[in-house]
Structure 1
Amino acid sequence: MLLRALIEELDYVALQGEPDVANVTSIAFDSREVAESGLFVAITGFTVDGHHYISKAAENGAAAILVEREVELSGLPSSIVVVKVTDTRQALALASARFYDNPSKKLSLIGITGTNGKTSTTYFVKSILEEARATVGVIGTIGAMIGDTPLATKSTTPTTPESLHLQHMFSDMAHAGVDTCVMEVSSHALSLQRAAASRFRIGVFTNLTPDHLELHRTMEEYYEAKAMLFDLTSDYNVVNIDDEYGRRLSDKVRHHKAQLLTYGVVPDIPSAGFDETALPDVYATNIQYEADHTTYVAHTPVGRVDIRVNLPGLIYVYNSLAAVAAAYCQGIGLGQIAAGV
């Protein structure tokens, strides 16, 4: 594939050679993995700067190199095309999606973000979808899977893979007949553009509590990173409005193209001043806790259904309720939702 086709949506400047003549057969962001006629994308990391390994990529046969700052060209073969872009992380995401023929567009992609609950919510959604006879892929903390079969990957990144590996996984899933992919989306991944070229049908927000401040520094930065997912969705944004930051997020995305669907827990005995007109779109009542399970009634825009979760605790009410809301957005019936949870 010509380099120009991979980066045509980006602003770029050719420092050496012409993108029209560079035919790319693979992509790498690790110079050690560059193959003959490959594209090397120089990423500025926290401890390692890929710009320092351009000559190594050239030795390994790179046909083209993407950089985001000025580099020394005198030692590179004149046959290598060198292109400067504003952000090589964004360029890696876009080029990878193009290289694999935009595979996320071939899937119904559900992204789940939040401090807590991403993994259990992901697997609640997976279980419901499989009850509805969907072929489901999962990407997250536990790994990548198609059904119950692990998906081979080079990714060493926890939770959300680097964009090149992510797009490769989407491609493998699409070729394997997966129709829906449920994916944990971390704040790190959103900040570092790993999901930038992914097309999410549904985004789910669980909650936000102090964590990961080594990267984001403040809760405000952390919140803004999480909110980035909901600019990437096409159909639904599912948001927990019992969470302080969820309420902020619901106000932020209320007028987005994707429809807002809120969820939360409604107490059986409302407090003074409770506003019944402000009920979430999907909500739980009549919660009963047992030693080994929890039951509740889930209310949705198309009716109510009894839910049993084989895990005790309020956190699993919220996580399963998020899955109920996501399944509703997928058009799954209440009976299959209850059986799947």
Structure 2
Amino acid sequence: MVHGIKGLMYDISKLNIHATLQEVNRALFPDMKVVVTVSRRRLARLMSQVDMFDEGSNRTTDFRHHSQWLLLTTGDDLKQLNITQLENVAAILTDKLTYHNCEAKLTASWLLTLRHHHQTSLFTAVSDCGASYKEACIFPNTAYGYNGRQVVVSILGTPFYVYKDIVNGTATFTGYCMDILEAIGRKLNFSFHVTEPADMTWGFIENRKWNGLVGQLHRREVDMVASDLTVHEGRAKVLDYIFPMIKTDALVILYKEPTGTEKSFFLLTRPLSPIVNVVYLSVVLILPVIMLLLESVKPNSGNRQKTRKASRVRRCLGIGWDIVGSLFKQESLYEH
């Protein structure tokens, strides 16, 4: 690590390229920036292996999108390269550099970038980026997300989240999860192919192996799952969840539509058991009397006795109203 920048240095001529690329992916993913300076013969071999590496890695690497390659080479060497998968490759042509007093002098077309167009890939000169060459200028494909890559998405139909319709033998999917998936695809510029698990299950351990949607992800048969998959600790060990799936400030109130027109004061007592109703009625009748008796044993005299007597009655009514009001979720009108 130099000046806070993490880096690796390899002598490709002495190492296994496959093992080296795996190590680079583990150490630097998802921001893999690689500078290559090798002989003409090794450059063609190296870039060919890197270009096809993701296809044999069973979705454990992504050099195609998450790596940026800067090649120090010559114009003749570039003609031997056949790169079809890597999105971000640039080249500094050393034969276009001249030196004067140990300082490099730039000539025309010294910096090239790889551009994909239909079925062809060509190195073209980087346009003038001003005084400083920014990443988006050297690697223009970084401005286009996943550049229309197709990913494999597994889905399991469930009400509201995913609806499955079969028309003329062709399955189509709609619903909330599909809306989110299409929005992400537009934002990150990728397309997707939808599939379903063969056993049509969500995913649990069977014979020490995950099945269903979780099994497809664990075996890396698909890139992602778009469904209302329940989060729990076991699944979190073999897949990554997106949090939060749903975030809203809306308040939804559900209620049961009345089935009859019966109106009665005793409807509120029906949810309670008979013993609860008896206890509640006893408290309503007995507690105010007890409070009244407790108030009456206090010594009183003169005009204050009449006032206190009226106050006790008011207090007794207030206590009774409080008890009744607790059933109807209302506050008492009396001060206490």
Normalised by the size of structure 2, how large is the TM-score? Answer: 0.22
Question: Rg: which structure is higher?
Answer: 2
Using structure 1 for the length normalisation, give the TM-score.
0.22
Q: Which structure is higher in strand share?
A: 1
